[in-house]
């Protein structure tokens, strides 16, 4: 839980810092901060893919996972449905900021894969990286929408905590080879998030999330066939 606690604390600290900047952070500085976070996320994604690719038992599995997962995500339109729900919740200025914060903090590859890696492998790298990203983002949001953004930290703690507990429960049944395949797909999604943050291309990473679950199914199918 160390990574989740650090991630939550980062949001609270970022919110406190943002509230001190009550007039908001100038757009020029916001862009500079988001550029820094975008490049950092992209670099982390590349490093993850490169690190886990040699450990892959099935070199083409991640390609099939991405293709099938993105197809399913586009068909179900998770991004559109979630954005619609956030729009309905965000009728006030605070609601708009809070819904944006929950989306950014909780519904992402780092926030989902991070607690699993922490529980199964004791590796908090993804969560510490996510904490840094969320610290900057919460500061920017709080400077505009106020201290209510801190509530997103409580939501994130419950969200990541539940995933961490699930990872602890399923840990003995998760094969090391499976984590390698899932991490490769996760690395690609992190790269996509970085590209979105940099505004190079709008990547609907929420619609790509099914690829993580597809990689699990394909791995066990491959194990059964082999």
- pLDDT tens track for 111-125: 888 998 899 888 898
Higher pLDDT, 74 or 170: 74
Q: What is the pLDDT of residue 115?
A: 92
User: Are 153 and 135 in contact, with CB atoms under 8 Å apart?
Assistant: no
- The total of structural domains in the chain comes to 1
Q: What is the pLDDT of residue 65?
A: 95
Beta-carbon contacts of 75 under 8 Å, excluding residues fewer than 6 positions away, are none
187 backbone dihedrals φ, ψ, rounded to 5°: -60, -40
Domain membership of residue 28 as a residue range:
2-225
CA distance 62 to 88: 35
How far lies 26's CA from each of 12, 104, 136, 157, in Å?
21, 20, 14, 29
Q: What is the pLDDT of residue 22?
A: 65
Mean confidence (pLDDT) of the chain: 85
Beta-carbon contacts of 166 under 8 Å, excluding residues fewer than 6 positions away, are 116, 119
Q: Is the pLDDT of residue 210 over 60?
A: yes
**Residue (of 159, 105, 98, 115) closest to 136 by Cα position:** 105
Interval 57-111: pLDDT, tens: 998 999 999 999 999 999 988 878 776 766 666 556 666 667 667 767 887 778 8
Give residue 23's pLDDT band: very low, low, confident or very high (50, 70, 90): low
Higher pLDDT, 101 or 163: 163
Give residue 127's pLDDT band: very low, low, confident or very high (50, 70, 90): very high
The stretch 180-193 carries a mean pLDDT of 88
CA angle 68, 71, 76 (to 5 degrees): 125
CA distance 94 to 193: 25
User: Are 158 and 111 in contact, with CB atoms under 8 Å apart?
Assistant: no
Q: What is the pLDDT of residue 96?
A: 65
Full-model pTM: 0.78
Q: Which three-class secondary structure state does DSSP give residue 92? A: coil
CA distance 23 to 33: 17
Q: Is the pLDDT of residue 35 over 80?
A: yes
CA distance 211 to 78: 13
């Amino acid at each position: 839980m160390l990574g989740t606690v650090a991630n939550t604390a980062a949001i609270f600290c970022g919110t406190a810092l943002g509230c001190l900047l009550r007039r908001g952070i100038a757009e020029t500085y916001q862009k500079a901060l988001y550029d820094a976070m975008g490049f950092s996320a992209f670099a982390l994604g590349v490093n993850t893919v490169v690190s886990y690719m040699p450990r892959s038992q099935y070199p083409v599995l991640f390609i099939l996972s991405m293709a099938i997962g993105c197809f399913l995500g586009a068909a179900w339109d998770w991004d559109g449905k979630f954005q619609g729900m956030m729009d309905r919740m965000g009728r006030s200025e605070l609601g708009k900021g809070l819904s944006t914060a929950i989306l950014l903090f909780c519904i992402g590859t780092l926030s989902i894969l991070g607690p699993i890696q922490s529980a199964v492998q004791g590796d908090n790298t993804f969560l510490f990286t996510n904490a840094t990203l969320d610290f900057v983002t919460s500061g920017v949001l709080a400077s505009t929408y106020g201290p209510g953004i801190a509530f997103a930290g409580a939501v994130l703690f419950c969200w990541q905590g539940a995933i961490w507990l699930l990872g602890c429960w399923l840990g003995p049944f998760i094969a090391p080879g499976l984590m390698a395949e899932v991490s490769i797909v996760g690395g690609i999604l992190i790269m996509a998030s970085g590209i979105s943050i940099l505004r190079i291309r709008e990547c609907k990473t929420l619609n790509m999330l099914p690829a993580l679950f597809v990689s699990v199914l394909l791995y066990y199918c491959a194990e059964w066939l082999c």
